[in-house]
Amino acid sequence: MTSITRRVFLSLAAALAPASAIAHHGWGGYDTSKSFTVTGKILKSTFENPHCEIEMEADGKRWHFILAPPSRMQARGATADLIAPGKTCTVFGYPHTSKPDEARIEYIVLGGKRIELR
């Protein structure tokens, strides 16, 4: 591949890359020294890339929890139906260092079954 052809190819690949891949974040913003577990009712959920997410009421606080990508959730038995609004679940995770209502979830308990997400 010539240098010009390669540059054109790389430019096109970058332009066509999905926004979710470009916007993906690392886990450095979560404090793994402050793990916690809460149980609550799911108020809102999304089952889409780059990560599934739920909003949940727990201990008088509304939380935003970041779960695994849909492919990993499904591979481990966690379907969109299991994290649907109205369901109750338990989560174990780490709080965000600058967003007091957000946490990254390591595992979730749905219907009595513990599902590892990482």
Domains of the chain: 36-116 (2.40.50.1010)
Nearest residue to 67 via CA among 29, 109, 107: 107
User: In the predicted model, is pLDDT for residue 1 greater than 60?
Assistant: no
Angle at 76 between CA 39 and CA 51, to 5 degrees: 70
pLDDT band at 118; cut points 50, 70, 90? confident
Amino acid at 37: T
Confidence (pLDDT) at 90: 97
Confidence (pLDDT) at 16: 47
Contact present, 40 and 60 (Cβ < 8 Å): no
Confidence (pLDDT) at 33: 95
Residues 4-55: tens digit of each pLDDT: 555 544 454 444 445 444 444 566 789 999 999 999 999 999 999 999 999 9
User: In the predicted model, is pLDDT for residue 84 greater than 90?
Assistant: yes
How would you classify the pairing of strands 61-66 and 102-110? parallel
Confidence (pLDDT) at 23: 43
What average pLDDT score do residues 82-93 get? 96
Angle at 53 between CA 50 and CA 58, to 5 degrees: 160
Residues 65-74: tens digit of each pLDDT: 999 999 999 9
Nearest residue to 83 via CA among 67, 63, 71, 95: 67
Angle at 8 between CA 7 and CA 14, to 5 degrees: 90
The DSSP result for 90-101, as a single string, is EEEEEEBSS-TT
Confidence (pLDDT) at 59: 83
Task: Look at residue 116 and give its three-state secondary structure.
Answer: strand
